[in-house]
Structure 1
Amino acid sequence: MKAIVHDQHGPAESVLRLADREVPEPGSSEVRIRVAVSGVNPTDWKARSGAYGGGEPVESVPNQDGAGVVDAVGPDVDGIAVGDRVWVTLAAHERPAGGTAQEYTVVPANRVFPLPDNADFALGASVGVPAITAHRALTVAEGGPARLAPGALEGKVILVAGGAGAVGHAAIQLARWAGATVIATVSSPAKAAYPTAAGAHHVVNYQDADAAAQIRGFASDGVDVVVEVAIGANAELDLEVLRPRGTISIYANNGDKPFTVDVRRNMGLNTRYQFVLLYTVGWELLTAAAEDINAAIAAGALPVGEDAGLPLHHFTLDQTAEAHQAVESGITGKVLIDIAQL
């Protein structure tokens, strides 16, 4: 089978290569998936580049997310059968050979979820890390819901920073589906159309001098939850618009501006800061999130594509380096690698 591999850290064009590998066999509690589409996320290029540090790299296949068809199942696998259409996430976590940038991958069965009948493989490869991150960010508030469903966020106001990104896109859609009022911020007027198409009720350019006043105009009592992509840059704005006992869910710090905490001000607000990284959340919570995401997909609430506010950029397997470069350069939308027509 064909696979993309790397055995050292570095730039995509230097370290990623197309290789022939043996088709792997699933062991106990594992399934083999014939991959149709692989999704590329920022975590993928950061792992490949060495941004996460660690020891000497071993030969690895990149990409955590994907979708395809179950090709074989190992012993002790229940509820998954050969021929099932599925999506997978964290495929390469602690399993260097398990990434989705290959024709077949073997992963633990608990990382595999049924793909609803109304979803294509592109959508299946687009959820994973972004949608589960968004779900986690929306379900950590004090007194808030631990699960998402229609009405779960009724009466709540959610501020999504970086509404044109993949996590922001999923957060907007999930929050709307759950009944919240959604405000999104963007960096330019040109990007405002993306969160609007995703379903945001209001969109604000965070670079406007009166950005806080605009947000307060839509949420006079303050916002309940901030889904934050750049806490260093946005900390001041977040505190200006957060309601007392509100939550700031931090899943990234784009731009790497240092984040400092104004203790007195945060004490006055009883602010809750929640950091979000899926690798250590635990599979019980990840599975619950996947179930809610599938319910939203089945309801038609998580579409992707230009019309839904998340343009799709397609590459082939031998263009994986270019796909990684596109994500690393900050392309707006979702980068996908088409591997097989299934």
Structure 2
Amino acid sequence: MRVIEITTPGGPEVLRLAERPRPEPGAGEVLVRVVAAGVNRPDVQQRRGLYAPPPGASDIPGLDVAGVVEAVGPDVACAGVVRPRPGDAVCALVTGGGYAEHCVVPAPQCMPLPTGFGFVQAAALPEVFMTAWNNIIRLGRLGEGETVLMQGGTSGVGLAVIQIARHLRRARVFATAGTAEKRRVLAGFGVEGTVDYHGDWDTELRTLTGGRGFDVIVDGQAGPYTARQMDLLAEDGRLVLLATHLGTRAEIDLRAVVRRRLTLTGSTLRPRPPAYKGRLAKELVDQVWPRLADGTITMPICATFPLEQVAEAHAVLDANAQIGKVVLVVDPAGL
């Protein structure tokens, strides 16, 4: 099968089309013929040598796929949303291996395509919506009518967080974005207030909330942002870190954490076991998939590229130019 390999840590040019043997599904796994695969920020970090796959995972990048089940391994039961069978159209979160013509997937992580969705649309869903759900609902414990800040709102995860918060918790949502165009897009998604993260964003956001701050903040920058965000939390507020792009260390006021009952937590979903991801998949299919099907929730696709143009796809993310998701078309004949 054709796959994309990372030849050495570096820029998009280190991604190479190669041939490898087709994998076989093991216990509790299925083999999916990949039609389309999502391109995500963790793929970029893996390419740069900053985010190694967990032990036992494929070194091939790619965390979400959409395609057709071709084979089923032993001991596949209905541990998640469905019991996948050969011929089923599915989308799935994987721990690696998505940039390939075939991918092995733990059965609990397989989800049906939302009604009316094709493979390209469905490939844009698993990683961003599972990440968003895990962070805003499970870790952030977002309650009805609370106030949310999403740092970098036009990323795939950002748009998923914003829509889950608005449509499933009726939250007031605020976000940051680096360009006027992106801030206009966020306004179209119902974001109440947006600010430019290049400026004095914490002061502006504090003003927008009348000084109250936020119940939940979701952020992937960390580093020097951390203390500023802790100061922006309301009492009993929760800061959820997706990543540490601006640095791995921060100085925070622990007395304020104790006095104001604040929570600082982190999230790395990739090494979590299939059973955990299967529970997330079920919650998504029950609560988010119907809203995708009726158009209440959407995930814009910024661009699509054939598998052999994967370097161009990564260049879009390197330039921080995407709004929504970038998708690789692995099997054009399967569309």
Q: Same fold (TM over 0.5)?
A: yes
Cα deviation per residue 1:222-254 (whole Å; 9 max; x = unaligned)? 311101122224334423431111100010233
Q: CA deviation at 1:337?
A: 0.5
Q: Distance in 2 between matches of 1:275 and 1:165?
A: 18
Q: Indicate whether 1:163 and 2:153 are aligned.
A: yes
Over 3 Å counting, the alpha-carbon distance change for 1:254 and 1:52 in structure 2 is: closer
Q: Which moved more, 1:122-131 or 1:167-176?
A: 122-131
Q: CA deviation at 1:208?
A: 4.5
Counterpart for residue 109 of structure 2 = 111
1:123 to 117, 121, 124: 121
- 3-state DSSP of counterpart to 1:231: coil
Is 2:42–2:51's contact at 8 Å kept on the other side of the alignment? no
2:256 to 243, 255, 265: 265
Counterpart for residue 173 of structure 2 = 182
Q: CA deviation at 1:141?
A: 5.5
Counterpart for residue 63 of structure 1 = 62
Is 1:247–1:271's contact at 8 Å kept on the other side of the alignment? yes
1:86 to 80, 83, 90: 90
Q: Indicate whether 1:199 and 2:190 are aligned.
A: yes
Counterpart for residue 76 of structure 2 = 77
Q: Distance in 1 between matches of 2:242 and 2:272?
A: 12
The 5 A counterparts of 1:241-320 are 241-256=232-247, 258-294=249-285, 295-300=287-292, 301-305=296-300, 311-320=301-310
Is 1:244–1:270's contact at 8 Å kept on the other side of the alignment? yes
Is 1:297–1:303's contact at 8 Å kept on the other side of the alignment? no
Over 3 Å counting, the alpha-carbon distance change for 1:217 and 1:59 in structure 2 is: closer
Counterpart for residue 80 of structure 2 = none
The 5 A counterparts of 1:212-223 are 212-218=203-209, 221-223=212-214
Over 3 Å counting, the alpha-carbon distance change for 1:216 and 1:120 in structure 2 is: farther
Is 1:251–1:277's contact at 8 Å kept on the other side of the alignment? yes
- 3-state DSSP of counterpart to 1:72: strand
Task: Output the aligned Cα RMSD.
Answer: 2.8
State the TM-score, normalizing by the size of structure 2: 0.85
Cα deviation per residue 1:177-201 (whole Å; 9 max; x = unaligned)? 2121111122332320232233323
Is 1:160–1:168's contact at 8 Å kept on the other side of the alignment? yes
Q: Indicate whether 1:100 and 2:109 are aligned.
A: no
Q: CA deviation at 1:135?
A: 1.2
Cα deviation per residue 1:88-116 (whole Å; 9 max; x = unaligned)? 11241xxxxxx111111122212322222
Over 3 Å counting, the alpha-carbon distance change for 1:315 and 1:215 in structure 2 is: same
Is 1:44–1:62's contact at 8 Å kept on the other side of the alignment? yes
Over 3 Å counting, the alpha-carbon distance change for 1:289 and 1:59 in structure 2 is: closer
Identity %: 29
Counterpart for residue 27 of structure 2 = 28
Q: Aligned partner of 1:173: which letter? A: Q
Q: Distance in 2 between matches of 1:111 and 1:292?
A: 12
Unaligned runs of 5+ in 2: 78-82
Q: Aligned partner of 1:299: which letter? A: R
Q: Aligned partner of 1:317: which letter? A: L
Is 1:3–1:20's contact at 8 Å kept on the other side of the alignment? yes
Q: CA deviation at 1:33?
A: 0.8
Unaligned runs of 5+ in 1: 93-98, 146-152, 306-310
Q: CA deviation at 1:214?
A: 4.4
Q: Distance in 2 between matches of 1:6 and 1:206?
A: 32
Counterpart for residue 339 of structure 1 = 330
Cα deviation per residue 1:135-177 (whole Å; 9 max; x = unaligned)? 12212468x36xxxxxxx3221111111121211110011112
Q: Aligned partner of 2:299: which letter? A: V
